[in-house]
A = this chain, B = another copy of it.
Amino acid sequence: MTDFDDQRTLAEKLDAADPLAGFRGQFVIDDPSLIYMDGNSLGRLPTRTKNVLANVVDRQWGNRLIQSWQDAWFDAPQRVGAKIAALVGASPDEVIVSDSTSINLFKTAMAALAMKPERNKIVTDEFNFPSDIYILQGCCDLLKDGHQIELIRSKDSIEMDTESISLYLDDNTALLTLSQVVFKSGYLYDVRRITEMAHAKGALVLWDLSHSVGSVPIHLNDWGVDFAIGCTYKYLNGGPGAPAFLYVRRDLLDRVQSPIWGWFGDANPFSFSLDYTPSDQINRFLVGTPGVLSLLAMEPGVDLILEAGIDRLREKSVQQTSYLIDLFDTFLAPLGFTLGTPKQPEHRGSHVSIRHPEGYRIARVMIEEQKVIPDFREPDNIRLGIAPMYTRFIDLWVAVDRIRRVMQDRRFLQYSSERQMVT
């Protein structure tokens, strides 16, 4: 038996011992030979979502019509928000579902900046998700009073020097905002430690949980976080473009205001008063009518994560990223790949980036010829996402096996390097 075959046996043993193995059966998996390694970008479809959506469409919309606002829809942003609160260590009344992650960042960043009118520096890092940086650039442009972004620079996104963050924070810093898990490398920040650093300098803190929620334990209250936002279509399996969430610490709520004043944020939306009176609840960060189908289709994915339990999911995720990195070291590093993800489990989320100068073309062949679906992030990152809800250890072994084949037959040389994939 070769070394690689031994690893296959190990994967099978680990799967057999996996207490979460049963959850895979809760997802639609039409083609078991497809190895889906992109649950960190778009989570799989939970089987029960189909029934939920059929009920929302046929019974609620089709049959009960407008009455469903009263029956089931009007309180959905708070109700589902309360479930997400349980996943991020917040009180049920501190989280609401609304809009997109980018719009929620706009709302919370603007709210935070308004709380610190005498300061005009925003600190983030150059590895933050670009849309987050764009939103912040837009806030600076809009405020027209000298707000500037200072980017924390690091040698790379694998070994972030978190202690150096304090060097960027000063008496002029209004807001520090970072992604808990860095989208390219999977680097996992120490939220508690960095939040303390910012508070020590009198700055507010806003965490983007998009790349961590559902795969990493989060304790916003314990960590003293001021604001947070996040996405529900990755590890929460909420569906393509499912609405995002937004957290504001309870004691800040009556001192913050959304920059966008819509009727769903009003204390009494159906009074149709001519003057906006913000709700005294987290609802004040709502704007317009929520997209009900996308919102309610997202709920079963959140329920499943709660059922599996975030600590168990994290334990499996660490086991799986560790197993994959072991395979990487022995079987992929010799083929010209470098590891784009921290080696220490406490510093990484739930995906493993493997880097190669031909990464784009290799990713294309993986998808189009080998039925392994990762995603690609410029310039050379192939991201292998692990969703412990449904990823098996054997999937990781098969993925590596197929990547080895791609490198062996070198068919990627027949593909164009011109970028065509949009995700």
Interface residues of A (CB under 8 A from B): 28, 30-31, 36, 38, 41-42, 44-45, 49-50, 53, 57-58, 60-63, 65-70, 73-74, 99-103, 106, 110, 126, 130-131, 133-135, 137-138, 141-142, 151, 231, 233, 239-244, 258-266, 269-276, 287-295, 297, 367, 373, 375, 377-378, 419, 421-423
Q: A240-B293, A270-B422 are in contact. Are A135 and B100 (CB under 8 A)?
A: no
Q: Which residue, A58, A103, A131, has most C-beta atoms of chain B within 10 A?
A: A131
CB closest chain-B residue, reference A376: B270
Given contacts A57-B53, A62-B28, contact A100 B41 (CB under 8 A): no
Instruction: Decide: B419 and A270 in contact? CB cutoff 8 A.
Output: yes
Q: Can you pick out 9 interface pairs between chain A and chain B where the beta carbons lie within 8 Å of each other?
A: A45-B61, A45-B62, A66-B373, A99-B103, A100-B290, A101-B289, A102-B289, A138-B260, A270-B419
Give the complex CA separation of A378 and B272 in angstroms.
7
Q: Given the complex, which residues of B lie within 8 Å of A61, measured CB to CB?
A: 42, 45, 239-240
B62 contacts A30, C-beta separation under 8 Å: yes
How distant is A69 from chain B, measured CB to nearest CB, in Å?
Answer: 4
**Cα separation A367 to B66 with both chains bound (whole Å):** 11
- Shortest CB-to-CB span from A373 to chain B, Å, is 6
Contact A138 B41 (CB under 8 A): no
In angstroms, how far is the closest chain B Cβ from the Cβ of A165? 18
Q: A272-B377, A294-B291, A294-B292 are in contact. Are A69 and B240 (CB under 8 A)?
A: yes
Bound CA–CA A68/B241 (angstroms): 12
List the B side residues contacting A101 at CB < 8 Å.
288-289
Q: Does the CB pair A423–B70 fall under 8 Å?
A: yes
A309 to chain B, nearest CB (A): 25
Shortest distance between the CB of A234 and any CB in chain B (Å) = 11
User: Are A239 and B276 in touch, CB under 8 angstroms?
Assistant: no
**A28-B62, A293-B293 known; A240-B131 Cβ under 8 A:** no
Nearest CB of chain B from residue A181's CB, rounded to whole Å? 16
Residues in B whose Cβ lies below 8 Å from that of A36: 65
- Known contacts A292-B241, A293-B297: does B70 contact A42 (CB below 8 Å)? no
B289 touches A233 (CB 8 A): yes
Contact partners of A290 in chain B: CB under 8 A = 100, 241
Chain B residues near A241 (CB, 8 Å)? 73, 289-293, 295
Say how far A346's CB is from chain B's closest CB, in angstroms: 26
- Are B102 and A260 closer than 8 Å at their CB atoms? yes
> What residues on B are CB-neighbors of A99 within 8 Å?
99-100, 103, 288
Question: Which residues does chain B contribute within 8 Å of A44, judged by CB atoms?
Answer: 62, 65
Using A130-B272, A241-B289, A274-B133 as known contacts, say yes or no to A66 and B423 having CB atoms under 8 A apart: yes
Measured CB to CB, the nearest residue on chain B to A149 is B274
Q: A31-B63, A73-B240, A133-B274 are in contact. List 11 more A-B contacts (CB 8 A).
A: A45-B61, A53-B53, A67-B373, A70-B421, A99-B103, A102-B288, A103-B103, A106-B260, A131-B263, A135-B261, A138-B258
Q: Is the CB of B45 within 8 A of A240?
A: no
Task: Give the docked Cα–Cα distance between A41 and B291 (Å).
Answer: 14
Most buried by B among A49, A102, A240: A240
Q: Are B263 and A375 in contact (CB under 8 A)?
A: no
Residue among B74, B131, B261 making CB contact with A134, cutoff 8 Å: B261
Task: Give the docked Cα–Cα distance between A135 and B263 (Å).
Answer: 8
**Given known A270-B423, A288-B244, A293-B293, contact A57–B38 (CB-CB < 8 A):** no
Chain B contacts for A423, CB-based, 8 A:
66-67, 69-70, 74, 270
Contacts of A373 in B (CB 8 A): 65-67
